Amino acid sequence: MTNIISPNTSSDISPDDRCFLYGDGFFSTVRVTGGVPELWPLHLARLQHTAAQLAIDIADWNLISNAVIDAIATAQANNAVLKIQLSRGSGQRGYSPAGIAPASVYISISNLPDYSRWQQQGVTLALAELQLAVQPLLAGLKHCNRLEQVLLKQQAISRGVDDLLVCDQQGYVTEAIAANLFLHRAGRWYTPELSRAGVAGVMRSHLLSRHPDIEQVNWRLSELKNVDAMVLTNALMGGVPVQSYNNQPLDLVLAKTWCSELLC
Which residues does the annotation mark as catalytic? 29, 142, 175
Size of the chain in residues = 264
Is the bond preceding 102 in cis, omega lying within 30 degrees of 0? yes
Residue 188 burial by CB count (10 A; 0-12/13-18/19+): exposed, middle or buried?
exposed
26: helix, strand or coil: strand
Name the packing angle between helices 40-54 and 61-75 (round to 10°): 130
Gap between the Cα atoms of 75 and 160, Å rounded: 35
**CA dihedral sign of residues 77, 83, 84, 89:** negative
Gap between the Cα atoms of 228 and 218, Å rounded: 18
Name the packing angle between helices 202-210 and 40-54 (round to 10°): 110
From the list 252, 249, 212, 217, the residue with the least C-alpha distance to 232 is 252
